[in-house]
Structure formats: structure tokens, C-alpha cells
Structure 1
């Protein structure tokens, strides 16, 4: 099994089985001396449950997923050109497909004996919405190896500065210039103060939008930094856990050796005492034999 085959197996299996399967693969690679494989396998991160559902769609319902993500280009075009009717139609279609894909993922999960709830399906919907808004996220989802839950709360693609809103019907032809002698009771020109007020309101809303976009960018940076720190901490924890496992194995081996040594020590001590007793008995027997011999020789 190469690392891609391991990754496919891990990201296809339920998240609860991920860590044990990965750790077993890491252990086996180390035992056979394949450090490169062990390092690569140890870096594979367990997906969130919502990410696992997205991976399930990428692997089991790829055609339908591609159909959903194929709306991204049309949505972006409609947004840039301010094509209101097309945008409304596409947005409705997007919501329908996202909802249908989330339900299908729930059905696939239940087939795999994994429980799902509405909150989890909403998280999956957020991932699919983010994939429609961001091509990078779309590629992550298509890979079938997504590990994180993603949500998108941006303002969509920027509009083309030269674009005009699309209209359903053609605009009416311009009216002929008014005769200054006619309609003396016509409404007066718009109040300049009202025009200035509306312009100030528009400018205030532009600033509010700029502030909101700046805040969103800052929060995204903090989110990315937090995710990077979480990834670093998770990897450090994984390394520490592996070190503890290695030390535990060494300790268990040392404890077995100590018990075996203690047993051998007791047996050797018993053998030494028995040998000492036998040596004492033999010495006594020798002394008696010598004494009898001396008596015989002196009497003779």
C-alpha cells in the first residue's frame, strides 16, 4: 500500500476509525524501516464529521457534486454583470442542489451506520456553499480528502465596474424634450439638499461595506492563523503521544526484564544455598573419613 492508497482508505472510512487505522499504518511502517512512509502517514489529519460527509459525496456521488460546483462560474458571471434574473434563478437552483446533496450525504452516512443530525447537515451545506464561492475550497472538496469544516460569509465576487443591471424588457425610448412653454405647473427640479443627503447616505454605506470587508479579512486571517496553530499543536500532540507509546513499550520491556532477572536471582540464590549445604555435608563426611583413617593407622 502506498501513501495515496492509505489516504483513500482513511478518508473513506468513518472518522472514528481514522486515528487507529493511521497509527497502525505508522507503526507497521516504522517496524519495516520505512521512515518516509511513516512520516507521511503521521501527517494525515482526521476529518471533521462534516468534512467526512463532503468526502463521502466526492467519492460516492462525484457526478452530482461536479454538477453542483459547475454552477460557480455562472453565479460569478451573473454577479459580475449584475444580471438580476439570472442570479435569482441560479441562487434558487444552488439552494436546491445544496439541500439535495446534504440529504444524499446523510443517506449515505446512515447506510454506513453513522448517525447524522440537522446541525451536521447544515455544516455540510456551509462547506458546499464555500466551495461554490471559492475555487480553492472547491478543489479541496473534489479531492475527497477534506479535513476541516468551512463556511463562507463573504460578499461574493466583485462586480464589473462597467457592468449595468440586466433588464427583462427593453427600456422605453427617451421622451422628447419638453417645451418650456408647456406644463408650467410641472414639478420643480429635485431639491439639491435631498440629492446631497442621498449621496451622503450612499457614501456612508460604502464606508460600512469597506469596514465590513476589512473586518472579514481580519477575521479570516485570525481564523487561518488559529487553524495553522491548531494543526501545529495537533502534530506536536501526535508526536508526544507517539513518544509516550514508545517509552511505554520500552518501560514494559524493562519491567519484564526486571521480573525475569528477579526470578533468575531467586533461583540462583536457592541453588547457591543448596550447593553450600551439599558442600558442608561433603566436608563433614571427608573430615570423618580422615579421622577414621587416622585412628586406623595409629592403632596399627
Structure 2
């Protein structure tokens, strides 16, 4: 199994199994000495439940998802041209399609025996709205490996506050060099000042590395805690089902015990009645025998 196969299995499988499956793949890679695979696999992040729903759509309803995301260009054109009628029609169509896709994702989740509620479907709708507004988010959704829940405020996706800064920096880097003013000649810098700045930069890089390591550890703890929470919730649900089954069995046993007790009382009464009848019959038999014996004795005397 290569990394793509593992990612497909993880992002296409049940959310509750993500961490255990990923960690097992990491352990197996370390055992066979494939540290590069183990490191790459360990970086795969567990999706939020709303992101998992979006991944379901990307994997199982790709044509409908592409149809929804194709509205982004038409919406952008209508906004640029200030075409109010087209914008209203497209917005209405967008709302209908987003709601329909959210319902379809809920159906797919229930087929996979994963419970979903209205709040979770609203989070998925937010992701789809953000994908319509931002091509970067749209690409993440299409990949089927989305990990984060994204909302859209009308000015850009809100889940990643650094995304806009990154995109601005990318656009600035891609701008023609001719657009930048000619840099003015700068005086030679003090070597001590240069050394000081380099030390500060090194310290910042160390701080960043420490922060990233702490973040990775925190994410792992979060993933483990979420996996444990889901495992406990599933165990609780199984326990509730078992209690319901045992309660039903107990009630059936109690009904059977009451029926058996009633039958026992009826049988005891019948036995007592039969015993009385047998006693009466025995008495009658004894009297008849006595009369026969008396008759026989009188006959012998007359002879």
C-alpha cells in the first residue's frame, strides 16, 4: 500500500477508524524500516465530521458536486457585471443545490451507519458555500481529502485566517518585476547588526519549530481524544441496545413466570380435587367390599 492508497482508505472510511488505521500504518512502516512513509502517514490529519461528509460527496457524488461548483464562475460574472436578476436567480439555484447536496451527504452517511444531525449538515453547507466562493477551497473539496470545517462570511473562508495572507503573498510574488520600483542603493550594513538579525532569525525559526512540534502533538492528542470519544459513544450505544434487549427478555421471562405460576395454581387445585374424588371413591369401594364380605359370611352360616 502506497501513501495514496492509505489516504484513500482513511478519508473514505469511517471517521472513528481514522486514527487507529493511520497509527497502525505508521507502526507497520516503522517496523519495516520505511521512515519516510511513516513520517508522511503520520502527517495525515483526521477530518472533522463535516469535512468527512464533503469527502463522501467527492467520492460518491462527484458529478453532482462538480455541477454545484461550476456555479462559481457564473456567480462571479454576475457579481462583476452587477447583473441583479442573474445574481438573484443564481443565488436561488445555489441555495437549492447546496441544500440538496447536504441532504444527499446525510443519506450517504446513514447508509454507512454514521449518525448525522441538522447542525452537522449546516456545517457541510458552509463548506460548500466556501467552495463556491474560493477556488482553493473548491480544490480541497474536490480532492476528497478535506480535513477542516470551513465557513464563508461573504469576504472569504474563515477557517484558515492565514490563507488570505498566503494568497496575497503568492499574488505579489507572481506580479511582473517591472511593476516594482527600482530599489534605491543602500549603504553597507554594520556586520554586528547583520549578525544580531541572523541570531534573531534563528531564534524565531527555533521558536517556530517548537510551536509546530507542540501543535502536532496537540493535534495528535485531539485526534486520539476524538477517537476515544467516538469509541465511547459507540460503546454506550451498544450498551443501551444490550440493556433494551435484556429488559425485553426480563419482561418476557416475568410474563412466563406469571403464566407458569397461574398454571401451577390451577394444577394444584385440580390435584386436590382429584385427591378428594379418589378418597370418596376409595370409601365407596371399601363399603361395597364390606357389604360383599358380610353377604358371603351370612351365606356360610345358613349352610
Aligned counterpart, 1:7:
7
- After the TM superposition, which residues 244-283 of structure 1 pair with which residues of structure 2 at under 5 Å, given as runs? none
In structure 2, the partner of 1:102 is 102
Per-residue CA deviation, residues 126-148 of structure 1 (Å, 9 max, x unaligned), is 00000000000000000000000
Partner of 1:236: 217
Number of aligned residue pairs: 179
Post-superposition shift, 1:234? 4.4
- Match in the other structure for 2:52: 52
Instruction: Provide the C-alpha distance between the structure 2 equivalents of 1:107 and 1:33, rounded to a whole number of angstroms.
Output: 42
Q: Report the 3-state secondary structure (helix = DSSP H, G, I; strand = E; otherwise coil) of the residue aligned with 1:142.
A: helix
Q: Given the alignment, which residue of 158, 161, 166 partners 1:221? A: 161
Give the TM-score of the pair, scaled to structure 2: 0.55
Query: 1:135 aligns to what?
Result: 135
Distance (Å, rounded) in 2 between the aligned partners of 1:140 and 1:59: 13
Give the SS at the match of 2:161: helix
Structure 1 residues 128 and 239: CA distance shift in structure 2, 3 A: closer
Q: How many angstroms does 1:154 deviate by?
A: 2.2
**SS, match of residue 47 in structure 1:** coil
Cα distance in 1 between the residues matched to 2:34 and 2:149: 32
Structure 2 gap segments, 5+ residues each: 166-207, 223-303
Matches within 5 A, 1:31-70: 31-70=31-70
Q: In angstroms, what is the RMSD of aligned CA positions?
A: 2.9
Match of 1:125 in 2: 125
How much does 1:235 deviate?
1.6
Deviation per CA, 1:29-54, whole angstroms, max 9, x where unpaired? 00000001000000000000000000
- Contact 2:150–2:158 under 8 Å retained in 1: no
- 1:64-79 equivalence runs, <5 A: 64-79=64-79
Q: CA deviation at 1:15?
A: 1.1
Query: Unaligned regions of 5+ residues in structure 1, if any?
Result: 156-215, 242-300
**Alpha-carbon offset, residue 75 of structure 1:** 0.2
- TM-score for the superposition, normalised by structure 1: 0.55
Find runs of 4+ consecutive structure 1 residues off by over 3 angstroms.
216-225, 228-234, 237-241
- Structure 1 distance, partners of 2:39, 2:213, is 15
Change (3 A) 1:238 1:30: farther
What is the CA deviation profile of residues 51-90 of structure 1, one whole-angstrom value per residue up to 9, with x for unaligned ones?
A: 0000000000000000000000000000010001100000
Q: Secondary structure at the match of 1:124?
A: helix
